[in-house]
Every structure is written in C-alpha cells, then in structure tokens.
Structure 1
Amino acid sequence: MKQFWSFIIIVLLASCNSATENKTVESSLEESKIIEEKPKLHVDTLSFVAYNDDGDYFLLYAKKNKEDFSFINDKNDDRSFLKGDVIEVIWKNDTIYIAGDGETPELAEWVVSTRKIKDGTVSAFRKHYKKELKYNWSKEFEYSQGYLDQLYLVVEYYIANSQNQLIKEAVESKEQIEYSIEEQIRNNKEYTVIGIATVSEHKVSTIQWLYYQHGDALELYEYDLPNDELIKFE
C-alpha cells in the first residue's frame, strides 16, 4: 500500500512540475510576441512648418511635396526648428485618445526623434540679419503674448522669403525693420493687418502691407495696392 501511495505522489509532483514548465514556456512566448510586435519605426525628410503646443497633445507640422503632415510631439522637448528648415523625422504609429469623444482611441504618428539636416530661409535670415524685428500696436487692440510671438514668426518668414525688392535691400543692408499691427474687416472677414517698414533717422517708410486671416486657415496675404486685392503668400 505504501508503494502505491508513493507512486501516486511521484505522479502528482511530476504533473505539477510539467504544468509549471508549460506556464513558464507560455509566458516566455507571450513576452517574445510583445517584443516582436513593437511599433515599426518610419523615417523621412520633411520641411518644418510649425509647433502647436496648445491642445491635449503637442504637435509638429511639416510638409513634403506640398502634402501636409502632423505628428504627435509630446516627448520631444526640442523647439529650435524654424519654418522651412529641412528636418529628419523618425516616428511610429501609436494610439492617442480623443478628448471629448468618449476617450476614443485613434492611431497617430508619434515622433521618436528629430534632427535638422539643413537651414531653411528663416534660419539663414537670422544668421545674416542678426537683429530683432521691432513691432508696435495700438492699445485699443489687446493681444496675448502668445499671439504676438506667432505674428513675429509669420512676419519673419515673410521677410525671409519676400520677393519685394525694397525688403530684400533692407535685409541685405541690415536696416532696422519694424512692423505695425492692427485689426481690420475686409469683405466680411477679420484680418490682422501688418505694415512692414524701415526706420532711419526717425523716418518710417512703409514697404508692404500684409493681411493675416483669423480662424483655422491662418493664411497670409500680400496687399496689392494698385489693384486693391489680396494675393496669397505661400
């Protein structure tokens, strides 16, 4: 009888050891599967457009061949790129949750790393001009510092890319450039109107008027004085 119970105990112990081994193997397989299913990394060269840190997720906007791209930029602290810089972006597809939509999951492109490959026109402009643009506005208009900073980048980009000969000459000779800011309604649309001017011996000479459209479009227009029309500036 003792031999019988000894045999039963040996069988049970062997069964437990086998189950433990199987569970260990299964766990290892599950871990291997997770490792194998890590998100694939993608890489591309793009033209930097802007940062947007105002929403639930920080964003980086870029372009390639006139196509717009938007990346989640939450874990990237670098904010040194200027519009037009050629950058390399490494990203992966991962999940975001849309606030206000029942936390609905959605796939998006997440930045893994970025680096600048080549200066754009704004970076080149800053290295050459080496001055701050000055600006002023009427106190009847209340602008947040964030919006003033946004306008500064818009004007800087325009100056760096403008084909206006007077602006080119002012940049080349490093004259002091400043701009005024005001609000106007034109054809039932609200615009921030920017007057770019040079300043010398207390004389202000306005060179170009720009219209910056409010709303989601945020489009910039040159004012064509002879024809009294707005021409979109790309």
Structure 2
Amino acid sequence: MTRPVVAITADTALLTYTIWKDVPIAALPLAYIEKVVAAGGVPLLTLPEPGAVAEVVERADALLLTGGQDIEPVRYGAEPHPRTLPPFPARDEAELAALAVAERRGIPVLGICRGLQLISTVRGGTLHQHLPEHSPAVPGQYDARRIRIAPDSRLGAAVGTSATVHCHHHQGIDRLGAGLIATAWSADGVVEAAEDPTARFVVGVQAHAEMGEDTDPLFAAFVEAARAGARERAGV
C-alpha cells in the first residue's frame, strides 16, 4: 500500500530571500519533515487556519502537532504570567480543530513540545507558565537532557527507559489532562512525556523529538501506527 500521510502543523513567518523582503510564508523546521520521511511517512503541511486544517486531518492517516508559541493561558483558565510569550490565537484554534478531528477518527497523534501541552490542556490540564530552570541557556539553541522513561509505556516500548533529548522550552505540564498518564520525567521531576493508554497512539513529548537520534524509534512507531490504521480503514 502507499505510505501513510502525516498532517504536520505549520506556523507562519516573514521571510526575506533573494530580491524579496518580509514575505508571509507557512513555516516549519525541516527536521520534522525529515523525521517523518525517514520513518516511512508522507508529510503534509497544514496552515494555522481552522477550517482548512480540519479538512486535511479528515483525510490524513496521522497528525503531528509541532512546537511553537506559548498556548494562550485563557484556554486553560489562567491569567498570563509576565514571562508568557504573546499567543497566536489562530494557531491555537486551528490545532485544537485538528486534534478534535484526529481524536474523533482515532488516528495516531504525536505532540512535540507545544503539541504535548495542547493535548493536555484540551483535556482540562494546566501548565507551569514559566520554568526558569528549564529555559534554554542560550535562546535559539537546544539543551541536551537525559530523561527517565516508564518502561511499560508506548514511548518506553519505542525508545527504552532513558533517552537524550533536545529541549527548548520554558513551560511544562502542571496538571495532566483527563485520560493522560505521565510516561517520562526530567531529573527534577518535570513531566517530559504523556500518553493516552486507551488510544491507538496519542503520545506527547516535551522535548523537541525532531532533533537528535534517540527519538528516531518514536517516529517509526508513530508512522507504523498510522500505516496499521490506514490498512484497517482500507480493509486490507
């Protein structure tokens, strides 16, 4: 059969190149695409537009929620912390719409950094809005960190009981959303991953799993779950 299609949420940005200046574009770090392709999937970028992204996810075999801006605090019932970055409401709305379709259809969902936080907050979870000890030492550069992983989890089955991950965040899980269980932790106890054990594949990781090699098996498991689901829907 054909390779499974993975819808990947993209951001927007202004790009200056050759003779063009400040051109509005859809933006996504290439590492996400490369990981999906290497795992055997077909990447399909989705824009932060609620109606369009929902229709794309209706046709996709899996959904990858990528990193990005802080989620608007009102969405989890909080006032903004002084260090919370300005939100992007249109992206919040679009990714919530995409996640709703994915969970209704039962297709695999992988959330990275902001993606984990979105999966949790939509289920009633809350966030620590600023964790200075987890903020990157140098903005724009990832910090390598060793995390502990529950062996009896989907993440543990794919990656093992520990992994070196690459972090660039200043927020993290406070209270997990309904139906989720924590499956990985940093040395200081901050939740580094969570999943829904009742779903085919709903896994979120706080670190940027698109970076480094230790998380390659996670992408392989994610795409394989998408492939298996596509076969079932096709009656193969």
TM-score > 0.5 by shorter chain: no
Q: Which has the larger radius of gyration?
A: 1
TM-score with structure 1 length normalisation? 0.31
Q: Which has the higher contact order (CA 8 A, sep 6+)?
A: 2
